[in-house]
Structure 1
Amino acid sequence: MRRPDTVRDLPVRWDGLVDEPSTARATLDERGIVTGWSEGARRLLGHPSAAVLGRPASLLLVGGAGPDLPGARGRLGRWAGELTLLHRDGHPLRVRLLAHHRAAAGGGAEWLLVSPLDRTVPTAGDDWLVKASFAQGPCTMAVYDRRLLLRWANADMERAMGLTQDQMRGLRMSEIVADSRGAEAERLMRQVLDSGLPRSLRLPPAPGRPAWSTSLAPLCGADGRPRGVILSAHDVTERYEAQRRLALLDEASLRIGSTLDIARTARELTEVAAPAFADFAVVDLLPSVHPGGDEPPPGPVPGTVVLRRVAARSVLEGSPDVVIGLGELAVYAERSPAAECLAAGRGVLTEVTPEAVARWAGDDPARADSTRRFGFHSTITVPLRARGTTLGVAAFARHRRPEPFQQDDLLLAEEITARAAVCIDNAHRYTRQRETALTLQRSLLPRQLPRRAAVETASRYLPARSRAGVGGDWFDVIPLSGARVALVVGDVVGHGVQASAAMGRLRTAVRTLADVDLPPDELLTHLDDLVAQLSAEAGGEPGADAAGGLGATCLYVVYDPVSRRCCLARAGHPPPVLTRPDGRADFLDLPGGPPLGLGSLPFESREVELEEGSLLSLYTNGLLQAPDGDVDEAVAALRTALSRPAGPLDELCQAVLATLVTGRPADDVALLMARTRALDASQVATWDLPPDPAAVARARQDAADQLLAWGLDGAVFTTELVVSELVTNAIRHAEGPITLRLIHDRSLICEVSDGSDTAPHLRRARVFDEGGRGLLLVAQLARRWGTRHTRTGKTIWAEQPLRGPVE
């Protein structure tokens, strides 16, 4: 028979397996054709290779058929059992067979069949092998009897314990390992003897000792009862250390950076490191890395460096090994580990030798003395770097645990330090941005509220604790004509520098519109148009929040101390609280109005008359954001706090904040309080004038007489000129009724009202013009002048300073 191309000599495939004559081996392809036949197979069945290669293997079976090996190979791709084969001389032979299903060299699959030729039973010589395998085996093993006394220990156990078998024989585990680990192992041994079931135990490393994974199994007699316990252990120190490092990294990712506070983030790094990783840990930052500091330098920092200590932790009570106090500056010489790691831009692992300490002693005697006194023997210093900038140094040291830092420890230190550096950089950038926003907002808010005859005022502003930064809350007190005053509180949606800048634009717009003397509802309408335009410029839709545009709320109040009337309007803002002189506090019922920027609904105003000494409290919604989220409770608390209006307003402001705000608020809080005053009737003089040019002279005389009665002799001449020009213009160009009013406040105010809506304009008259110089003269004589429209016409006013300081 011609041998197929796939047939080959089996020894080529079996090089290095087992001794050729001791095992019978054959290979079959997937069709069951014999493709390999060893010398051992010939010795077993007597067939030479030429007689079986290329022929079906079924010819070697008794009856010509056998089990379906490919279907019986199971999960491991093999089959084991016994088959009855035909010997060459014709007699049947029972053969123990192991079949492996494997990939063939030329592609496809094949079966490898092996059968031992030596079917001898164990001999007495095997006892020596068993004993030698126990005594000399690579696994750490020991045998204990029923009394849990050690009977046998192999060489690896002797090495691990540092004792010989004779020194340990007859002792219990708790006596050989006299700590909690030995007691725990002995407790589990007793359970193995009682239950007959194996147990396992993980023993953490002791100082200078490895970690062990220990298995305990019963040794049973012929009756099946446990007669002893065998202990086998494996050194898993590397695995234990790897798991410990992973756990430390996991803890670092969870604990470091919980806030945007630089000092707390640095402290969290030291708390993670000591005592789990080091006996001593510190964080020193460059002086520029602090609230409001400059941008840290990019790249490595060579040479001698000055660092500020921001965090330190030691395993010793009271931290006596910490030389530099928190907040103190320290100079690190060029050859110190801190300066070395900053110059190299990478972590440095240092073995603290006497020679190294001697080198440091000249630059820093105190630190060198502490190193000797507390026995520091190994240190790691890692630069804190993030986004290409250097922030400082984190240092770790060991002086209580004996094992020094290894290279893997350096990698771990660099990993947790890198995470901390990103968090510290985030905190630094956030702090800088927050300080910028606070500075901008403080510059835009009134530093000191002006003193006015109409109201006594006090205010408070608290920035939020939010990570998003400072919000856009603002307040203002604006003087108006006729001794009136405007009170305004607003809130721009969003946080950060953008919100502060938007707040500044709105505050400026409100002041500009207030200077035109617009009623509150009209002012909010114009402000609504402005916010919609700003939102469109920012790329957002009208009414969008700060993420895409601009949104805001506002409350605008105008109070007249002459009539004691107050006109209010709001745009999506909380209503003010009115506290009457008797202590009754209520939220004023005002039309709500939409937030600014929506442009959908008109604004409405409401007018109320206030008793002298009434208290108006304007605020932003951050004041009512209670920590527990109960707004109703916060509203009730605000009403209660404002039911005691007597006393200085500054103290009342502080009391309100102490009642409603605990710690840093969740949102910005702006609070403006105004206690109303009223001008006495003796401070106001009013005359109704006929639309007759002859009334001008009478008006001048009445004004002069009133000034003399007020003791303002020095203002008579100027006031007569102002009254003459304003009354003349009203008679010539307007219509009745015409009214002249003088108000004696911190300044002298002259007002002429008429029934016309047409407002005069200041212009420079030409040489031959007969008129056009009146308002120019008034503007020269008065400190301020202007026009305000009323429901019945307009009022032209002029304000003159009086002698002496004007508050």
Structure 2
Amino acid sequence: MGTPSIQFNESPEDPFGIDRAASAVVDDEGTVVGWSLRAQDLLGYPAKEVIGRAWRDLLVDSHDLPVARSAVAEAVRAGGWIGVLPVRHRDGSRVHLGFRARAVIREGGEQEWFLVGAPAAEIVAWQRDRALLDGLYRRSPIGLVTYGPDRRVIRVNRAVEKASGVPAEAPVGHRPCEFMVDEDAGPADERVRHVLETGEPLIFTEQSARTRHDAGRERIVSVSAFRMEDPTGQVLGVAETIEDVTARHRAQRRLALLNEASARIGTSLDVAQTARELAEVAVHGLADFCSVDLLKPVTLGGEPVPGAAGPLLRTALSPPEHRVPFQEGDVVPLLPESAQARCLAERRPILEGLLSLRPEWYAMDRRRIELALGLGVHSLIALPLMARGLVLGVVSLWRAHDSEPFEDDDAAVAQELTSRAAVCIDNARRFTQQQNTALTLQRSLLPSTLSDLPAVEVACRYLPASGEPGLGGDWFDVIPLSGARVALVVGDVVGHGIHAAASMGRLRAAVRTLASLDLEPDEVVARLDDLVSLLAGELEASTDDNPSAIEQVLGATCLYAVYDPVSRHCSLARAGHPAPLVTTPDGEVTVLDPPAGPPLGLGGLPFETYDLLDLPEGSLLTLYTNGLLEAGYGDVDTALEHLRTCLEGTTKPLDHTCQAVVEALLPKGHLPTDDVALLIARTRMLRPQNVASWELPPEATSAARARELATAKLDEWGLAELAFTTELVASELVTNTYRYATGPVTLRLIRTHCLTCEVSDTSHTSPHLRRALSTDEGGRGLFLVAQLTERWGTRYTHDGKTVWTEQPLPSA
């Protein structure tokens, strides 16, 4: 007969139970006097073969006898015994049985021994299960809670007691809502009810766990639960295992915070916006309150001074609804020995509880913060914002009320967060620096002031692009011309950045140079087109690795208009530029349709002049770049209609009209992604009493006649002081036409801010200024004219040319 096999049940029974164990009775002499049926089953001996015989002769082999005698002696000495002995089976095999022995005193004082035995394997399994159960409640590092059918706690183990700080007996007899914080108790009670009713186990369910004993201490636990049943299926309750995963949960949350920061910080190249993004992310996952204070040069795009510790500007604050001593834009004093000052000086994070700070700092700052915020701040982390070796500012993180104080791990995460944000802020600072440089360059190339001209009253607006590509190459100009005329120019170099601004400056200078030649608008645009082609060729030869620069020049557009206040005649030409608008004094708005012409730099195609005759005085000429129509509306036609509406029937001052156009086409808060240039001119007309014109015959006496007419008109205007000079100028110019031209001669005097004298003829020959030798009889006329006047020049028309001079009026 072999060793009986052991069946391990889910709930092993006590192997020494009366219905499972073998039992025998031995008298004090070692004779068996009692034998049970279970003993017969285990060892094969029927009672009749055992009773009356000595146990050592029947049940123990000779070589096991010393062990058996030692066990008997131990039992006698202790009055009982528990141990394992090898026992001989009836078939001769050995069976290891575990025994319990107990001395029994019979009536009459005789002593007998009652023995209970069971297979050793069953005893070991039973003891292991009991040790496991005991270990779960006493030594297991994983929490264990058992609930009864009424969902009340039956027992908790030592791990739960240690983690919660609540004595193990405190929760017994209570439901979760009676010893846990309300917002955590509800899910816990619902979890137990669900398992109890459905029998479905829960595996690794994470939730918050806070006890009323320590409500401010939050723990994240992983809970697994199953329903307990007896062999008959009777529900006994629910068992939960609880593992504290707070550290892992916080680590995951910190990683998620850093991942979120990568996506949310640095979405724009604006320093203040990037700082706000940092503050919002920090409050969302790390702190209750965050402030970002930057060195003042950083906020302006400048380079921070090495070693500088101020001044600091409050650039971002979150949550922004709290009333704090320093709002965004305020200067924040850096108190000596404060955490912020130390972190800047030592260039490392400083983690402190407020109560550990210096008394004077505590009295000055914490009192203000607590009174103003009502936050009950209890700890902070101050971190330097550093990027590429530069200190940009300081970030302050605060925790308050029921939030747990900052730990070293929080400081490490905060440092990683601010390091990433610092790079984004520094990128924004560098972009702002580049933008400011380009903007300074561009503004220096644009007209600083627009003088009051006799031909037009002007108002303008220039708005640089605020998008990431940077400002562009839009420009405008108002150029005084001879004869009281004025040139209005608006242009756009396609592209952004310093290259576009520099190209714009070159084109604007070229336009002014061409305008001084008094060319027709189509000729000015044509020569500008030749210049752009020449510049593009130079760039192509010198910047093979930078094709974008060539593209910026090739993409230039321009509109050039000339208005004459005497004739009220306006002529214009454009090169791929948006058409201008004309608003008559009665409020009617017309979009002009001059020949568009190709953009500058393409070459090979002609440009045409578009003429507006007899333009009413007080008309508005509106010139603009395409950024105005593309800024606030997706559809250009819609934007153009809004522009027409703003210009219809306007009687406001010109500057107000200009501002109204900008506000209508650029909604409030909308940042244009391209430059916007707007130029509005209200036309004027020179009164007839300020213009005098005479036609003279091509005769030798015309010079004398010109002197007489000029002197008489100057006397009439009260400008007798200029009579001598004007007589000489008029005489010399008329004499030249008589000698070198044919056809009638026209003499015209114009009185504006200066005195203009013009002599026109039908010849296209150009007079040249030269210095006559002492032996020359002539050649000194134009030299004298140039010396006696402030400016002089020649302009050509289809019918001939006009030589003009300008003299300043007497100061009186």
Name the TM-score, length of structure 2 as normaliser.
Answer: 0.78
Q: Secondary structure at the match of 2:333?
A: strand
Structure 1 partner of 2:365: 367
Structure 2 unmatched runs, 5+: 1-118, 211-215
Alignment check: 8 A CA contact 1:196 1:225 kept: no
Structure 1 partner of 2:666: 661
Structure 1 partner of 2:609: 605
**Deviation per residue, 1:568-592 (Å, 9 max, x gap):** 1001111110112221101111101
Counterpart check, 1:412 vs 2:413: yes
Structure 1 unmatched runs, 5+: 1-116
Larger radius of gyration: 2
Q: Secondary structure at the match of 1:765?
A: coil
Match of 1:153 among 152, 156, 159: 156
In structure 1, distance between residues paired with 2:426 and 2:251: 29
Equivalent runs, 1:106-125 vs 2, <5 Å? 124-125=126-127
Structure 2 partner of 1:491: 492
Counterpart check, 1:619 vs 2:624: yes
Flag the 1:203–1:727 CA change in 2: closer, same or farther, 3 A. same
Question: 1:272 Cα shift?
Answer: 2.5
Q: Secondary structure at the match of 2:512?
A: helix
Alignment check: 8 A CA contact 1:377 1:404 kept: yes
In structure 1, distance between residues paired with 2:362 and 2:247: 37
Flag the 1:583–1:198 CA change in 2: closer, same or farther, 3 A. same
Structure 2 partner of 1:525: 526
Output the amino acid matched with 2:707. Answer: R
Q: Secondary structure at the match of 1:204?
A: strand
Q: Secondary structure at the match of 1:667?
A: coil
Structure 2 partner of 1:589: 593
In structure 1, distance between residues paired with 2:787 and 2:326: 72
Output the amino acid matched with 2:151. Answer: L
Alignment check: 8 A CA contact 1:134 1:154 kept: yes
Alignment check: 8 A CA contact 1:535 1:544 kept: no
Match of 1:246 among 227, 242, 255: 255
In structure 2, distance between residues paired with 1:780 and 1:491: 39
Equivalent runs, 1:425-464 vs 2, <5 Å? 425-464=426-465
**Deviation per residue, 1:324-353 (Å, 9 max, x gap):** 9851241332x4333332233222333555
Question: 1:307 Cα shift?
Answer: 3.4
Q: Secondary structure at the match of 1:452?
A: coil
Alignment check: 8 A CA contact 1:212 1:237 kept: yes
Question: 1:508 Cα shift?
Answer: 1.4
Question: 1:181 Cα shift?
Answer: 1.7
Flag the 1:128–1:689 CA change in 2: closer, same or farther, 3 A. same
Question: 1:443 Cα shift?
Answer: 2.5
Output the amino acid matched with 2:312. Answer: L
Structure 2 partner of 1:171: 174
**Deviation per residue, 1:37-65 (Å, 9 max, x gap):** xxxxxxxxxxxxxxxxxxxxxxxxxxxxx
Output the amino acid matched with 1:457. Answer: V
Structure 2 partner of 1:706: 713
Q: Secondary structure at the match of 1:729?
A: helix
Structure 2 partner of 1:140: 143
Flag the 1:349–1:120 CA change in 2: closer, same or farther, 3 A. same
Alignment check: 8 A CA contact 2:180 2:209 kept: no
**Deviation per residue, 1:238-293 (Å, 9 max, x gap):** 1111011112222322333343333343333233223632344332322332326x
Question: 1:178 Cα shift?
Answer: 4.1
Flag the 1:699–1:145 CA change in 2: closer, same or farther, 3 A. same
Structure 1 partner of 2:188: 185
Alignment check: 8 A CA contact 1:323 1:370 kept: no
Structure 2 partner of 1:569: 573
Structure 2 partner of 1:330: 333
Alignment check: 8 A CA contact 2:145 2:157 kept: yes
Counterpart check, 1:579 vs 2:583: yes
**Deviation per residue, 1:363-402 (Å, 9 max, x gap):** 7851365699987554322111112111121122334346
In structure 1, distance between residues paired with 2:642 and 2:403: 60
In structure 1, distance between residues paired with 2:721 and 2:674: 53
Structure 1 partner of 2:395: 394
In structure 1, distance between residues paired with 2:326 and 2:687: 70
Counterpart check, 1:502 vs 2:503: yes
In structure 2, distance between residues paired with 1:700 and 1:305: 73
In structure 1, distance between residues paired with 2:752 and 2:158: 107
Question: 1:673 Cα shift?
Answer: 1.3
In structure 2, distance between residues paired with 1:567 and 1:598: 23
In structure 2, distance between residues paired with 1:124 and 1:469: 81
Match of 1:296 among 288, 298, 304: 304
Question: 1:192 Cα shift?
Answer: 1.7
Alignment check: 8 A CA contact 1:283 1:310 kept: yes
In structure 1, distance between residues paired with 2:792 and 2:739: 20
Flag the 1:760–1:415 CA change in 2: closer, same or farther, 3 A. same
**Deviation per residue, 1:77-108 (Å, 9 max, x gap):** xxxxxxxxxxxxxxxxxxxxxxxxxxxxxxxx
Match of 1:791 among 798, 803, 806: 798
In structure 2, distance between residues paired with 1:613 and 1:324: 49
Output the amino acid matched with 2:265. Answer: I
Structure 2 partner of 1:760: 767
Flag the 1:364–1:357 CA change in 2: closer, same or farther, 3 A. closer
Alignment check: 8 A CA contact 2:291 2:396 kept: yes
Output the amino acid matched with 2:667. Answer: T
In structure 2, distance between residues paired with 1:222 and 1:393: 67
Structure 1 partner of 2:703: 696
Q: Secondary structure at the match of 2:598?
A: coil
Structure 1 partner of 2:729: 722
**RMSD across aligned positions (CA):** 3.0
In structure 1, distance between residues paired with 2:528 and 2:327: 57
Equivalent runs, 1:219-258 vs 2, <5 Å? 219-222=228-231, 226-258=235-267
Structure 2 partner of 1:20: none
Alignment check: 8 A CA contact 2:435 2:471 kept: yes
The worse-fitting range, judged by mean Cα deviation, of 746-755 and 153-162 is 153-162
Q: Secondary structure at the match of 1:185?
A: helix
**Deviation per residue, 1:698-742 (Å, 9 max, x gap):** 232233333334443333222221111111111112222432222
In structure 2, distance between residues paired with 1:616 and 1:702: 36
**Deviation per residue, 1:11-46 (Å, 9 max, x gap):** xxxxxxxxxxxxxxxxxxxxxxxxxxxxxxxxxxxx
Counterpart check, 1:749 vs 2:753: no
Q: Secondary structure at the match of 1:766?
A: coil
Alignment check: 8 A CA contact 1:279 1:401 kept: no
Q: Secondary structure at the match of 1:338?
A: helix
Output the amino acid matched with 2:592. Answer: L
Alignment check: 8 A CA contact 1:494 1:547 kept: no
Question: 1:749 Cα shift?
Answer: 1.8
Output the amino acid matched with 1:611. Answer: P
Alignment check: 8 A CA contact 1:284 1:307 kept: yes
Flag the 1:624–1:319 CA change in 2: closer, same or farther, 3 A. closer
In structure 2, distance between residues paired with 1:763 and 1:309: 67
Output the amino acid matched with 1:615. Answer: L
Alignment check: 8 A CA contact 2:536 2:550 kept: no
In structure 1, distance between residues paired with 2:183 and 2:690: 93
Q: Secondary structure at the match of 2:391?
A: strand
Structure 2 partner of 1:265: 274
Match of 1:774 among 774, 781, 788: 781
Q: Number of residues paired by the alignment?
A: 678
Q: Secondary structure at the match of 1:211?
A: strand
In structure 1, distance between residues paired with 2:380 and 2:477: 58
Alignment check: 8 A CA contact 1:143 1:151 kept: yes
